Amino acid sequence: MTAAHPSAPAAQPAAAPSAPASTAKLWGGRFSEGTDALVEAFSESVSFDQRLWRQDIAGSTAHARMLGKVGVLKADDVEAIVAGLASIRAEIEAGRFEWQLALEDVHMNIESRLTALIGDAGKRLHTARSRNDQVATDIRLYVRDAIDELVAVIEELAEALLDLAEREADSIMPGFTHMQVAQPVTFGHHMLAWREQVLRDRARLLDARRRTNVLPLGSAALAGTVYPIDRPFVAEQLGFDSVSENSLDAVSDRDFAIEFVAACAMTMLHLSRWSEELILWCTPMFGFVKLPDRYCTGSSIMPQKKNPDVPELVRGKTGRVVGDLNTLLVLMKGQPLAYNRDNQEDKPPIFDAHDTVSASLRLFAAMLPSVEVQRATCRAAAFKGYSTATDLADYLVKKGLPFRDAHHAVGSAVGHAVAKGCDLSELSLEELRGFSPLITADVFEVLTLDGSVNARNHWGGTAPAQVRAAIARARARR
Ligand code: ARG
């Protein structure tokens, strides 16, 4: 088979790659028969890696300019390549590019089209590189851009949480441990807890970005290239912070992608935990919040239903992203140096993790500002669960009782109140004094919900004043 290029296709409306049985391969020189159709279908990646077209064109443009700069390519070849790549970009943007399965991947589809458009100059583009360093470059550019996108959405979400925390700084709800009412907290404090989680997710993404933003191009297939390449020049054009140190490592490892997807999985884990809370909170049994109708759906049979589908799906989709991480970890574990075709399988999990976490974050950022907090219900729930019992124990400690004895005395008082079916604050002073003579009339201040939250008035505590202080610190930091 000769290494002929397919002729320039006319303007196409095509979207999905077409599959002619035996398009000549760009690597076909040493082969005496065409690829088996099953192999072609099995090994193609263009159906999913065409998504890297922007990165591929950017990488090729930078590579061509560099080859011109160092004198490997003539100036008019470079010009033709750069212009040809620009018109391919326009074709793809307009949906006129015909992706061909037989051309395997995004790289060969674009290169083949380039040669169809500009002739021999197109065939010179692949000088001093390999698809191995090309794809490693594309995927690093993709992950870097994905990180920047997710970081921006997380910042939007963190802002929404800050506003919600401010709105609900004084609203009291039960805090839970073991899913049992533990101590009263402010709703604002709870929102700021969520915010801390995504801020760490943001930090993890940015940390992964540092190790992602390193240029592999120039590593060629695995050992480097015989041409006098200028890698820092390419890095600068593509916005990479540095140039990879070792060609074998640069074409083969996908640890940066694993870190990225791990950060995505952690982000989803957080969103999933929030989802679980929201789903509980909007049941009639809790009734802490109302989700806006536009973020819920109904049932085809039960007319009364308003289901919290968004948080349910976020919780469900978390499994996918954890699966994506697992896919990448297992993909990498058996690979000797250097590039192996296994790595082609890195893209679906990377794209899926990115898409899923991006959509989930966007939905939360959009939905949270219109969540209606049912303040009276939250407060009543905190009142019901003896959530100020610890406050009574601390009150007795302040009056000189050892904490263990105070704990025991309050436990007895709670038992008494449970039997009577009332709250601690509803017991009379005489009844309370029956559990400890140290109790005096000022006890009722500490038994109230407001007294309880206001007393936790230190950096990181739940007091409304501290919620406001935390919000002020967050706003000053921006
Ligand atoms: N589609 C391939 C990938 O994603 C490109 C690199 C192929 N390299 C090769 N030597 N076959 O990994």
Closest ligand 1 atom number to CA of residue 347: 4
Separation of CA 447 and ligand 1 centre (Å): 68
Q: Do 439 and 433 meet the contact criterion of CB atoms below 8 Å apart?
A: yes
State whether the beta carbon of 46 lies less than 6 angstroms from ligand 1.
no
pLDDT band at residue 478, thresholds of 50, 70 and 90? confident
Number of other residues whose CB lies within 10 A of the CB of residue 32: 6
Separation of CA 239 and ligand 1 centre (Å): 23
State whether the beta carbon of 132 lies less than 6 angstroms from ligand 1.
yes
Separation of CA 424 and ligand 1 centre (Å): 70
Residue among 49, 51, 131 whose CB has most ligand 1 atoms within 8 A, to mutate: 131
User: CA neighbours within 13 Å on the CB side: how many for 346?
Assistant: 28
One fold for 142-169+186-227+242-372 and 384-476: no
State whether the beta carbon of 374 lies less than 6 angstroms from ligand 1.
no
Query: Taking residues 143-159, what's their average pLDDT?
Result: 98
Q: Largest alpha-carbon pair distance within the chain?
A: 102
Look up the pTM and report it: 0.92
State whether the beta carbon of 137 lies less than 6 angstroms from ligand 1.
no
State whether the beta carbon of 134 lies less than 6 angstroms from ligand 1.
no
User: 292 vs 297, 303, 368, 418, CA distance in Å?
Assistant: 10, 17, 9, 37
State whether the beta carbon of 343 lies less than 6 angstroms from ligand 1.
yes
Q: What is the pLDDT of residues 77-123, one digit of tens each?
A: 999 999 999 999 999 999 999 999 999 999 999 999 999 999 999 99
* Length of the chain as a residue count: 478
- Residue 10 pLDDT greater than 80, yes or no: no
Residue among 132, 133, 254 whose CB has most ligand 1 atoms within 8 A, to mutate: 132
- Residue 7 pLDDT greater than 80, yes or no: no
Per cent of the chain over pLDDT 90 is 90
162: β partners? none
What is the rounded CA–CA span in Å between residue 330 and residue 321?
14
DSSP symbols for 21-35: TTPPPTTGGG-SSPP
Please tell me the predicted confidence (pLDDT) of residue 269. Answer: 98
Residue with CA nearest ligand 1 atom 2: 344
Cis peptide before 338 (omega within 30 of 0): yes
The secondary structure of residue 184, as a DSSP letter, is E
Burial pattern 402-436, b for ≥16 Cβ within 10 A else e, equals eeeebbebbeebbebbeeeeebbbebeeebbeebb
- Residue 446 pLDDT greater than 60, yes or no: yes
Which of 25-34, 62-71, 383-392 has the highest mean predicted lDDT (pLDDT)? 62-71
* Active-site residue, selected from the candidate residues 18, 22, 242, 299: 299
Instruction: Give which of 53, 42, 51, 45 is closest to 105, Cα–Cα.
Output: 45
Closest ligand 1 atom number to CA of residue 343: 12
Closest ligand 1 atom number to CA of residue 106: 1
Residue among 44, 134, 135 whose CB has most ligand 1 atoms within 8 A, to mutate: 135
Element (DSSP H or E) covering residue 373: strand 372-373
Separation of CA 165 and ligand 1 centre (Å): 49
Please tell me the predicted confidence (pLDDT) of residue 379. Answer: 97
| Residue 299 annotated in active site | yes
Query: Taking residues 394-413, what's their average pLDDT?
Result: 96
What is the rounded CA–CA span in Å between residue 229 and residue 70?
7
384-476 fold: Ribonucleotide Reductase Protein R1; domain 1 (1.10.40)
What ranges do the domains of the chain cover?
35-127, 142-169+186-227+242-372, 384-476
Please tell me the predicted confidence (pLDDT) of residue 303. Answer: 87
Please tell me the predicted confidence (pLDDT) of residue 81. Answer: 98
User: 282 vs 128, 289, 293, 307, CA distance in Å?
Assistant: 60, 5, 12, 9
Separation of CA 132 and ligand 1 centre (Å): 6
Please tell me the predicted confidence (pLDDT) of residue 18. Answer: 64
Please tell me the predicted confidence (pLDDT) of residue 301. Answer: 87
Distance from the Cα of residue 168 to its chain's centroid? 27
- Residue 64 pLDDT greater than 90, yes or no: yes
- Residue 368 pLDDT greater than 70, yes or no: yes
Closest ligand 1 atom number to CA of residue 346: 4
Please tell me the predicted confidence (pLDDT) of residue 54. Answer: 98
State whether the beta carbon of 254 lies less than 6 angstroms from ligand 1.
no
Instruction: Give which of 456, 436, 452 is closest to 444, Cα–Cα.
Output: 452
Separation of CA 129 and ligand 1 centre (Å): 12
Spell out the CATH class of 35-127: mainly alpha
Rounded to the nearest integer, the mean pLDDT of the chain is: 94
Separation of CA 186 and ligand 1 centre (Å): 54
Please tell me the predicted confidence (pLDDT) of residue 410. Answer: 96
- Residue 1 pLDDT greater than 90, yes or no: no
State whether the beta carbon of 382 lies less than 6 angstroms from ligand 1.
no
Copy the structure tokens of residue 394. Answer: 């601390």
Please tell me the predicted confidence (pLDDT) of residue 23. Answer: 61
State whether the beta carbon of 100 lies less than 6 angstroms from ligand 1.
no
Q: What is the pLDDT of residues 262-312, one digit of tens each?
A: 999 999 999 999 999 999 999 999 999 999 999 998 888 888 888 999 999
Separation of CA 344 and ligand 1 centre (Å): 6
The secondary structure of residue 227, as a DSSP letter, is S
- Residue 439 pLDDT greater than 90, yes or no: yes
Please tell me the predicted confidence (pLDDT) of residue 26. Answer: 82
* Active-site residue, selected from the candidate residues 7, 32, 178, 428: 178
What is the rounded CA–CA span in Å between residue 311 and residue 307?
10
What is the rounded CA–CA span in Å between residue 138 and residue 50?
11
Spell out the CATH class of 142-169+186-227+242-372: mainly alpha
H-assigned helices in 334-428: 347-367, 375-384, 389-398, 403-420
Query: Taking residues 41-65, what's their average pLDDT?
Result: 98
pLDDT band at residue 21, thresholds of 50, 70 and 90? very low
Show Cβ contacts of residue 300 under 8 Å, excluding neighbours closer than 6 positions: none
Show Cβ contacts of residue 208 under 8 Å, excluding neighbours closer than 6 positions: 143, 147, 256, 259, 260, 262, 263
Instruction: Give which of 248, 218, 254 is closest to 66, Cα–Cα.
Output: 218
What is the rounded CA–CA span in Å between residue 233 and residue 415?
75
**Is 13 exposed, middle or buried (CB count within 10 Å of its CB: 0-12, 13-18, 19+)?**
exposed
Closest ligand 1 atom number to CA of residue 221: 10
